[in-house]
Amino acid sequence: MPPRRGLADLFRATEIDARLVGMLGALALIWIGVDLLSGGAFLTPRNLWNLSVQTASVAVMASGMVLVIVARHIDLSVGSILGLVGMIMGVTQAEFLPKYLGFDHPLIWVIAFIVGLAVGAAIGLLQGAIVAYLGVPAFIVTLGGLLVWRGCAWWVTSGRTVAPMDDAFRRMGGGIEGAIGANWTWVVALIAFAAIVWRTLHARRRRRQVGFALRPIWAEVTVAGLACLAVWLVVLVANSYDLPPRVAERIAAERGLTQGLSIAHGLALPVLIAVGVGIVVTFLATRTRFGRYVFALGGNPEATELSGVDTRRVTVLVFVLMGMLCAVAAAISSARLNAATNALGMLDELYVIAAAVIGGTSLGGGLGTVAGAMLGALVMQSLQSGMVLMGLDTPLQNIVVGLVLVVAVWLDRLYRSRTLKGSAG
Amino acid sequence: MSDARPPLVELRGMSISFGGVRAVDDVSLDLSGGEVVGLLGHNGAGKSTLIKMLSGAYRPDAGEIRIDGRPAAIHSPRDARRYGIETIYQTLALAENLDAAANLFLGRELRSGWGTLDDVAMEVETRQVMARLNPHFAKFKEPVRALSGGQRQAVAIARAIHFNARVLIMDEPTAALGPQETQQVADLIVQLKKEGIGIFLISHDIHDVFDLADRVAVMKNGRLVGTAPTRAVTKDEVLGMIILGTCPAAAIPGPGALAAGTA
């Protein structure tokens, strides 16, 4: 390739992932397009806030699906695991625990959540062990799981819907109670700013210690500045979506305020949970041996085995993690619905896999990022709620989502084959 | 080469079958420190299979491995590494999606005080080893997929020699290389030999082996035809061992030697 100077070089100096920028660009296009087509109903604080809450559950599962797919497996059972775990958490908090602790005991949501995590982990352990030790392909094991766990969910209550959820538990689903308010949102933002600055300085110091080339100062400042700007924009949106006037009046009255009639939602708890999960899974994927082995396994399973890695154990752990993330997603979904129903999480496996793939995870294994998958989830949800705002019928929505999935993967392949030729030179 | 000390590696009566086929049948072979033993034979003669038992990739059905005269329990690649046995596989066994440093340290990553991967430290060490093997190498940030055949080979070799190997197994190390890179590998083998490392050099090309090996061992149909000091035999005689299974007078015949040829 001939050396291209100018903008391209400047961009390379920042070491920003070009793929991620492309996805953000696509997302911006969708948002602006849908906003124009829906007569300005999309880019409102209220809609964006709801969009973030609606994305949380699929985003949480997509972060785990990245590792599953990177390790050359697939998990078709995530929607059913979500359904079963949601049902078990529902029964635990609405029917079982109140018998002993009484309703609205502060420990109820904690116990219910831990029970859910344990069930999710156990299901993942079982499926992972069958894949790793019995050698049954993950496609089959989890296809079976799709039916088995949905059937088990029905069994827990014979198909009856469990409601309502514990008050504290419901906060995990968002809504007025599940928003942290303007002040706490600023606290979160300040922590994010500090983390961004610390990361930049830390990476720079480490590179200098060992004498690697440093990024130019302007590039560091630009990247850190853009990250802070993004956080700031999110805070602005979250803090300009006000509580309904009546709720605000009530809260104002409770606190003895007279002029507090505009109270902001701030960030939603499920969104914070999803972001937290994203950070943790990214950490696991990039900074730990476990994550390194998952990627090595996807790149060359035989070589990984020959390097002395216990590949079976790694495979099992990937599925255990996936199961636990399904439990987190189950908490978010059932809390948001304020009920555990038999249909909870139905077809979610398709959205989760689509999100991961749109986010750049290669079905051939070995390639993928958690951030990409979560962004993929946001793209999918944006399309869907955008089409709802535009008044499109459900069948048409499905057609569009299906087409977008195929086109997105095709574009990704084009991009990959070009960059690979470029670097192999 | 025959001191009173036990050899570095002794393979005794190694056998393994796959689905009723005896891939390796009662093979005994030894290797001393600083010695290069060339393992020759046709494709499918059992060379790679024999060596995979030593490197822990396969478990033998019968036989014993001794290191420094003591029985060694090698049940996995991890065990073999613990005994200082490193292998450069014919396929190179690299994860193509990872960079050079990640491949070099795969399975024994350097970690920081908090138990997280120390990628910077790993890259520093990788730069040092690679500088020795391939001074022009600069693609440290790119996945191995983007490297040339010789560069990949260098990564695989770097992985084998970086962790103080005592025994090095090289399975067709020059099969994918050009003349210049082949010469580099040859120079490296001479250098490693000086450092006292014992090397099994597997090849189906006897010219490679004749230049580098102290002894040759020939396998045919899973059995050992015989071993001989390289200096005591001619290439034609070794070709006879490979193709016909005949054993020349200067060689020590193994169980696979053709009975008529030894008369």
Mutation to test the B interface, candidates A202, A289, A311, most B Cβ within 10 Å: A289
| Residue pair A315/A297 in contact by the 8 Å Cβ criterion | yes
B120 in a structural domain: yes
- Contact with chain B for residue A302, Cβ under 8 A: yes
Identify the CA nearest to A104 among candidates A165, A149, A18, A191. A165
Q: Do B87 and A306 touch (CB under 8 A)?
A: yes
pLDDT at B60: 94
Could you report the per-residue pLDDT of A311-321, keeping only the tens digit for each? 999 999 999 99
Identify whether residues A141 and A244 lie together within a single domain. Answer: no
Query: What is the domain-level CATH number for residue A275?
Result: 1.10.3470
- Mean pLDDT, residues A78-99 taken together: 96
Q: pLDDT at residue B95 above 80?
A: yes
Average pLDDT (B144-157) is 90
Residues A157 and A41 in one domain: yes
Q: What pLDDT score does A425 carry? A: 29
Which residues constitute the domain of residue B208? 9-84+165-262
In a domain, A205, yes or no: yes
Asked if residue B89 belongs to a domain, the reply is: no
Residues A13, A162 within the same domain: yes
Of A299, A309, A366, the CB nearest to B107: A309
Residues A219 and A275 in one domain: no
User: For chain A, what percent of residues have pLDDT higher than 70?
Assistant: 96
Q: Which of B164, B190, B220 is the last residue of a domain?
A: B164
Same domain, B40 and B134: no
> Which of B57, B108, B116 has the CB atom closest to A306's CB atom?
B57
Whether residues A226 and A190 fall in one domain:
yes
pLDDT tens-digit map of A104-161: 889 999 999 999 999 999 999 999 999 999 999 999 999 999 999 999 999 998 989 9
Angular region, B246: left φ>0, alpha ψ -120 to 50, beta rest: beta
Domain boundary among B145, B164, B183: B164
Give backbone dihedrals phi and psi of A35, rounded to 5 degrees, phi first. -65, -45
In a domain, A1, yes or no: no
CB contact under 8 A, A289 and B111: yes
CA closest to B124 among chain A residues:
A210
| Residue span of the structural domain in which A218 resides | 179-267
What whole-number distance in Å separates Cα of residue A412 and Cα of residue A422? 15
Residues A58 and A153 in one domain: yes
Q: Are residues A156 and A198 in the same domain?
A: no
Q: Which amino acid, residue A24?
A: L
Residue of A nearest to B53 (CA): A306
**Which of A299, A308, A423 is nearest residue B98 as measured by Cβ atoms?**
A299
**Contacts A309 to B, Cβ<8 Å:** 106-107
B102/B73 same-domain check: no
Helices (H), A134-262: 138-157, 167-170, 181-210, 217-239, 245-254
Residue A17 maps to a domain: yes
Give buried/exposed letters for A389-403 (b at 16+ CB in 10 A, else e). beebeeeebeeebee
Angle at A87 between CA A83 and CA A88, to 5 degrees: 120
- The alpha-carbon gap from A377 to the nearest alpha carbon of chain B, in Å, equals 24
Region A380-407: mean pLDDT is 91
pLDDT at A261 (0 to 100): 65
Nearest to A63 by CA among A328, A386, A288: A328
Q: A303 or B258: which carries more pLDDT confidence?
A: A303
- Is A387 found in the same domain as A274? yes
| Confidence label for A258 from pLDDT (cuts 50, 70 and 90) | low
3-state secondary structure of B94: coil
Asked if the C-beta of A422 comes within 8 angstroms of chain B's C-beta atoms, the answer is no
Q: Render pLDDT for B34-72 as a digit per residue (tens, 0 to 9).
A: 999 999 998 889 999 999 999 999 999 999 999 999 999
Q: Does B32 share its domain with B158?
A: no
Mean pLDDT score across all residues of chain B:
90
Separation CA B77–CA B96 (nearest Å): 20
Same domain, A310 and A170: yes
Q: How far apart are CA A334 and CA A340, in angstroms?
A: 5
Backbone angles phi, psi at A369, to 5 degrees: -130, 150
Q: What is the mean pLDDT of residues A364-369?
A: 92
Say yes or no: A146 and A39 in one domain. yes
Over residues B78-91, the mean pLDDT reads 93
Do residue A304 and residue B108 have CB atoms under 8 angstroms apart? no
Contact B142 A307 (CB under 8 A): no
Regarding whether A186 and A168 lie in a shared domain, the answer is: no
Is it the case that residue A72 has pLDDT exceeding 70?
A: yes
Res A69 pLDDT > 70 = yes
ipTM of the complex: 0.89
pLDDT for res A65 = 98
- Max mean pLDDT range (A62-66, B164-168, B171-175, B256-260): A62-66
Residue where a domain stops, chosen among B144, B164, B184: B164
Residues listed for chain A: 425
- A296 close to B (CB below 8 A): yes
Of A308, A423, A424, the CB nearest to B107: A308
Chain A, chain B: beta-carbon pairs less than 8 Å apart:
83
The Cα A88–Cα B2 span in angstroms is 71
Domain end position, chosen among A252, A267, A282:
A267
Same-domain pairing of B221 and B153: no
Distance from CA of B203 to the nearest CA of A (A): 20
pLDDT at A355 over 90: yes
Strand partners, B199: B36, B168
Clarify whether residues A16 and A154 are in a common domain: yes
Q: Which of A397, A394, A401 is nearest to A376 (CA)?
A: A401
Dist. CA A68–CA B77, nearest whole Å = 25
How many separate domains does chain B show? 2
Mean pLDDT, chain A, rounded, equals 91
Spatial CB neighbours of A208, under 8 Å, sequence gap ≥ 6: A214
Is position B38 within any domain?
yes
Identify the residue with better confidence: A228 or A6: A228
Beta-ladder partners of B10: B30, B66
How close is the nearest chain B Cα to the Cα of A349, in Å? Answer: 26
- B142 interaction partners in chain A (CB closer than 8 Å): 423
Residues B74 and B178 occupy one common structural domain: yes
Q: In whole angstroms, give the CA distance from residue A4 to residue B139.
A: 19
User: Measured at the alpha carbon of residue B179, what is the angle toward residues B178 and B182, in degrees to the nearest 5?
Assistant: 85
